[in-house]
Structure 1
């Protein structure tokens, strides 16, 4: 009788550059990153998920830590559009680092580059806006012509996309559009070893006002 032969699946070659990228994005150890990539066939997104399930992704763990230091940054474009943005970290040491300063500057530029953005994250968008978006989508002609049982799913998908357009963290990063802003921030969290939170921002547009225009009678 011939002995039973067990054939192993061919192993995928994992480059040092890929291991380094995963380490920067998750903050996990070098060997853990290498193992995650080996287990997932070199797929970096699946490797990130693998590390999170194993509890080895430190970027997610850091998100619960208090961030009260940081910087207020600014960016003015063509003397017509300006942004002030507050980004927090855990220590003054990191807040004064060049990498953190660069992050704040990049985020300020990102806000200017995305005129539709009015909130930091989707979670900050008021329920009144979410409700209004749903109502608008439900009234569209192409939705009314759809079977009732699938309207809700279509509307949900469209509203989710619309809310993403309003949130800073959901935008493609201006310096690398293959990354969302939230993923870029996670990379900096892993690199600096501290929790980082984009706290708030305010935009100024030349000539824009929220005051109620005065009537000619009031002026007189």
Structure 2
């Protein structure tokens, strides 16, 4: 297929690699964008091969907790100006509270009654759109619960009680003292906000993701010219490091980097006299994975001034 300038531009924005390198990668992979990213990584030319960090959407993440259950929601708006609006902030808090009565399904939450209105959550959002004059959407929701223990929550870049830019839930199953368990859970939730782990453990990572990493590591190792037996060991070492960096339990605990999160939980269990199991975590970062069109503000002003 023909490689267009737009494709080269897109790959450059995603990887930070040079124009000619991007064109070469797309040519080598017949225009496959994801394969081209891997090709650049293999050659060591990509400065950043992840697009999830290109946060574009505005709005707020809201968190609500009740007993052994907590919910997190993301409600998007077009501008940060609306995210600072008191009515919008109340909407997000109310939706998070309402989510506690659901199983975390986004569509079920949208159809649930919004408190005190006789309308659904979706209908209440639509009404506020009409009032404020800007598009809004309930993007996603999640619920974490335990039969015994606590579900800790944390909001980063908070703009008010329970609302901010990142929301994290951490489920700890245990018969240990709830207060001390909650303190541990809050520390782990803060860790999750900071490190954004890919999964709880190695077993929870999609095998396709692991194989993709392995393939990139293999190509990089082969370019060293070393024997296959050495290459295999090099790749396995890289995969172990990938697990250590990507899975919550194996990450170095930001509160005490001398321990992994797993070891920190074991130490807390010994201190509190009761086993502790980290059952689940959820992290919502505002707008992650959503991209919006980049605009040239200076060009917009010039166009406006010239009457275009």
TM-score (norm 1): 0.58
1:195 lines up with 2:259 in the alignment: no
8 Å contact 1:69–1:95 — kept in the other structure? no
Q: What is the match of residue 80 of structure 1? A: 165
3-state SS of the aligned residue for 1:179? strand
In the alignment, which of 179, 190, 193 is matched to residue 109 of structure 1?
190
Q: What is the match of residue 210 of structure 2? A: 130
1:48-197 maps to which residues of 2 (within 5 A)? 68-78=147-157, 79-89=164-174, 91=175, 94=176, 96=178, 98-115=179-196, 117-140=197-220, 143-197=223-277
* Residue-pair matches, total: 142
For residues 188 and 141 of structure 1, the distance between their equivalents in structure 2, rounded to whole angstroms, comes to 40
Larger strand fraction of residues: 2
3-state SS of the aligned residue for 2:211? helix
8 Å contact 2:172–2:185 — kept in the other structure? yes
3-state SS of the aligned residue for 1:207? coil
8 Å contact 1:80–1:206 — kept in the other structure? yes
Gaps of 5+ in 1: 1-66, 214-220
For residues 278 and 233 of structure 2, the distance between their equivalents in structure 1, rounded to whole angstroms, comes to 31
Gaps of 5+ in 2: 1-145, 158-163, 293-308
For residues 147 and 155 of structure 2, the distance between their equivalents in structure 1, rounded to whole angstroms, comes to 25
Larger helix fraction of residues: 1
Q: What is the match of residue 64 of structure 1? A: none
For residues 237 and 286 of structure 2, the distance between their equivalents in structure 1, rounded to whole angstroms, comes to 35
Change (3 A) 1:125 1:207: closer
For residues 152 and 83 of structure 1, the distance between their equivalents in structure 2, rounded to whole angstroms, comes to 37
Q: What is the match of residue 43 of structure 1? A: none
Change (3 A) 1:183 1:206: same
For residues 208 and 76 of structure 1, the distance between their equivalents in structure 2, rounded to whole angstroms, comes to 16
8 Å contact 1:138–1:144 — kept in the other structure? no
8 Å contact 2:171–2:281 — kept in the other structure? yes
1:33-70: CA deviation from partner (whole Å, max 9, x where unpaired): xxxxxxxxxxxxxxxxxxxxxxxxxxxxxxxxxx8411
Q: What is the match of residue 45 of structure 2? A: none
Deviant stretches of 4+, over 4 Å: 141-144
Shift of 1:202: 1.2
Shift of 1:121: 1.6
For residues 143 and 100 of structure 1, the distance between their equivalents in structure 2, rounded to whole angstroms, comes to 49
For residues 212 and 262 of structure 2, the distance between their equivalents in structure 1, rounded to whole angstroms, comes to 26
